[in-house]
């Protein structure tokens, strides 16, 4: 880059926790390198934190508790790493409306108010980047928004929450139950004291909303995303999966669904899924994230890397910052997302899924016929059945073909009430294999 200007790009940082302090460190330590890449020097204009006295490690003349004032000051780019909806939403809208570019990792805010923020950025022609909001360090949003802009994405499916992946990986390898494994994860720092955002799937649902919006050029919010967490996954679910050479993962799944009449809709959902151990996502363990993308022309793609942590997330934040800063220097702005497609969101009940059902049934003739009849009544086609005797009961495993989720749910509900069914061992959705 030959051009180089003297006027610095001024940046304000809101929030200085694990990721923020890593961002500060790199902004200060790598300032020459960043300046070379941007084409102008970088000046850290201020750091807003709630309790300035708690941050003796920061350059004190930069620290302020007044985020609102910092946002309105003479800065070019605002990096927001506080999280949560209010008061952050107001600050970022102010920044955008005053012509400052915004870099944020705030998935909850984007999943809820992404449209409003994008509109504000559009009005003043500035950048709104948020690579850090999904899958940490993995470059995923920019590829979806830009690299695949000439293709038609049909599916985005992935592991986007490290806490639940850590817990499920541990349950799989130790055979322990959910509660016990959660305790261990909390002790090791993989789960927060209040783990609900992770284990109930809220975090993954926000990310699914962001991914679906970008992939399908349609505004999808967190409330559009069907959500089931991992709190009901039992050791027997994991055991049932293991016996079939499968494993259980919490997946965010965003699909373009085409109805028989050709109309399209979007399905966005987060729930536990049984996948074959040979599946690429099965090998992703611990705190790693991986996202699988299918597009009409590109075919199958996979992106893999660290989904959280100070340094990895800071990498995504700084990548966005350099892009936004370069655009300030060059006088342009990056390609924005588009929501021109406006596809309807398909309710979960109408979304085609496949179930794996594991039952203990009475060991006598006619049981399978009786159960198969329930599937038939609900229009659910059976892909495979496996029966095994154990004392006076038999174990029965059924895997279905694709059917509307509501039909599958109704089938399971009716089957569980049959006299011949002693126990419903495990019911789980299946992805990633034929039949």
**Which residue of 213, 221, 306, 393 would you call a contact of a second copy, by CB under 8 A?**
306
46 is in an annotated binding site: no
Within its chain, how far is the Cα of 402 from the centroid? 24
**Which residue of 264, 303, 360, 422 would you call a contact of a second copy, by CB under 8 A?**
303
Catalytic, 207? Answer yes
**Which residue of 105, 162, 312, 404 would you call a contact of a second copy, by CB under 8 A?**
312
Nearest distance, CB of residue 50 and a second copy, angstroms: 25
Tell whether residue 332 is a contact of a second copy (CB under 8 A). Answer: yes
Footprint on residues 186-225 left by a second copy (CB under 8 A) = 217
Tell whether residue 143 is a contact of a second copy (CB under 8 A). Answer: yes
* CB of 60 or CB of 258, closer to a second copy: 258
254 is in an annotated binding site: no
Tell whether residue 299 is a contact of a second copy (CB under 8 A). Answer: yes
Nearest distance, CB of residue 196 and a second copy, angstroms: 27
**Which residue of 174, 223, 263, 338 would you call a contact of a second copy, by CB under 8 A?**
338
Nearest distance, CB of residue 185 and a second copy, angstroms: 20
Catalytic one of 98, 100, 207, 242: 207
Tell whether residue 352 is a contact of a second copy (CB under 8 A). Answer: no
93 is in an annotated binding site: no
**Which residue of 16, 48, 138, 275 would you call a contact of a second copy, by CB under 8 A?**
138
Tally of CB atoms within 10 A around 160: 30
Cis amide linkage into residue 329, ω under 30° from 0: no
* CB of 33 or CB of 183, closer to a second copy: 33
21 is in an annotated binding site: yes
The helix/strand/coil state of 267 is strand
* Closest CA relative to residue 350, chosen from 288, 309, 407, 422: 407
* CB of 333 or CB of 378, closer to a second copy: 333
Helix residue spans in 125-264 (DSSP H): 141-142, 162-174, 178-187, 196-199, 202-216, 235-243
Footprint on residues 165-184 left by a second copy (CB under 8 A) = none
Task: Kindly report the backbone phi and psi dihedral angles of residue 189, in degrees, each rounded to the nearest multiple of 5, phi listed first.
Answer: 85, 10
Query: What single-letter DSSP state applies at residue 146?
Result: I
Nearest distance, CB of residue 414 and a second copy, angstroms: 42
The helix/strand/coil state of 319 is helix
Contact 98, 123 (CB under 8 A): no
Tell whether residue 336 is a contact of a second copy (CB under 8 A). Answer: yes
Helices and strands per DSSP (H, E), number in the chain:
14, 18
Instruction: HSE, CB side, 13 Å, CA atoms: give it for residue 217.
Output: 14
Contact map string, positions 33 to 62, toward a second copy, x by CB under 8 A = xx-xx-------------------------
* Closest CA relative to residue 117, chosen from 336, 321, 333: 336
CA atoms of 371 and 61, how far apart (whole Å): 72
Tell whether residue 155 is a contact of a second copy (CB under 8 A). Answer: no
18 is in an annotated binding site: yes
Burial label, 353 (beta-carbon count in 10 A; 0-12, 13-18, 19+): buried
Tell whether residue 331 is a contact of a second copy (CB under 8 A). Answer: yes
Query: What single-letter DSSP state applies at residue 177?
Result: -
Q: Which residue in this structure is represented by tokens 């038609």?
A: 152
End-to-end CA distance of the chain: 54
**Which residue of 66, 146, 180, 183 would you call a contact of a second copy, by CB under 8 A?**
146
16 is in an annotated binding site: yes
Stretch touching a second copy by CB under 8 A, among 69-77, 90-98, 139-147, 158-166? 139-147
Q: Can you say whether the dihedral through the CA atoms of 115, 119, 125, 126 is positive or negative?
A: negative
* CB of 140 or CB of 397, closer to a second copy: 140
CA atoms of 67 and 119, how far apart (whole Å): 22
Tell whether residue 311 is a contact of a second copy (CB under 8 A). Answer: yes
234 is in an annotated binding site: no
* CB of 27 or CB of 240, closer to a second copy: 27
Specify the pairing of strand 77-80 against strand 153-159.
unpaired
Radius of gyration of the chain (CA): 24
**Which residue of 85, 188, 259, 341 would you call a contact of a second copy, by CB under 8 A?**
341
Torsion, CA 362, CA 364, CA 367, CA 368, rounded to 10? 110
Element (H, E) at 114: helix 107-124
Known catalytic residues are: 207
By the criterion CB under 8 A, which residues form the site for a second copy?
Answer: 1-2, 22, 26, 30, 33-34, 36-37, 122, 131, 137-139, 142-143, 146-152, 217, 280, 295-306, 309, 311-312, 314-323, 326-327, 330-336, 338-341
Residues of each annotated binding site for NADPH: 107
Residues of each annotated binding site: 14-21, 107, 192
Residues of each annotated binding site for L-homoserine: 192
């Amino acid at each position: 880059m030959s051009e180089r200007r003297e006027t610095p790009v001024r940046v304000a940082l809101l929030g200085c926790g694990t990721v923020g302090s890593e961002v500060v460190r790199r902004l200060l330590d790598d300032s020459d390198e960043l300046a070379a890449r941007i084409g102008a020097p970088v000046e850290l204009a201020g750091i807003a934190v709630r309790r300035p006295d708690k941050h003796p490690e920061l350059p004190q003349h930069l620290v302020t508790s007044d985020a609102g004032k910092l946002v309105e000051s003479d800065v070019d780019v605002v990096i927001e790493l506080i999280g949560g909806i209010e008061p952050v939403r107001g600050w970022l809208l102010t920044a955008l409306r005053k012509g400052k570019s915004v870099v944020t990792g705030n998935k909850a805010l984007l999943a809820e108010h992404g449209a409003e923020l994008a509109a504000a950025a559009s009005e003043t022609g500035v950048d709104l980047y948020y690579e850090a909001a999904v899958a940490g360090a993995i470059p995923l949003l920019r590829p979806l928004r830009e690299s695949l802009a000439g293709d038609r994405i049909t599916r985005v499916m992935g592991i986007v929450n490290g806490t639940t992946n850590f817990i499920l990986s541990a349950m799989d390898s130790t055979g322990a139950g959910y509660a016990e494994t959660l305790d261990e994860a909390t002790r090791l720092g993989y789960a927060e004291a209040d783990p609900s955002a992770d284990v109930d799937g809220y975090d993954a649902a926000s990310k699914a909303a962001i991914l679906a919006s970008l992939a399908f050029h349609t505004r999808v919010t967190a409330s559009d995303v069907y959500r089931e967490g991992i709190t009901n996954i039992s050791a027997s679910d994991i055991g049932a999966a293991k016996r079939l050479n499968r494993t259980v993962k919490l997946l965010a799944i965003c699909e373009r669904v085409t109805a028989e009449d050709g109309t399209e809709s979007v399905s966005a959902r987060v729930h536990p899924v049984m996948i074959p151990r040979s599946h690429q996502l099965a090998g992703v363990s611990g705190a790693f994230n991986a996202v699988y993308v299918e597009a009409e022309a590109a075919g199958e793609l996979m992106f893999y890397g660290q989904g959280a942590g100070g340094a990895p997330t800071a990498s995504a934040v700084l990548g966005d910052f350099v892009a936004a800063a370069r655009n300030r220097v060059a006088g342009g702005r990056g390609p924005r997302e588009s929501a021109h497609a406006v596809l309807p969101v398909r309710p979960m009940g109408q979304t085609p899924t496949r179930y794996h059902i594991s039952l203990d049934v009475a060991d006598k003739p006619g049981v399978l016929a009786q159960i198969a009849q329930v599937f038939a009544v609900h229009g659910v086609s059976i892909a495979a059945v496996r029966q095994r005797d154990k004392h006076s009961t038999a174990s029965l495993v059924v895997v279905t073909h694709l059917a509307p989720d509501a039909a599958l749910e109704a089938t399971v509900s009716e089957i569980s009430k049959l006299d011949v069914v002693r126990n419903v061992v495990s019911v789980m959705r299946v992805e990633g294999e034929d039949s």
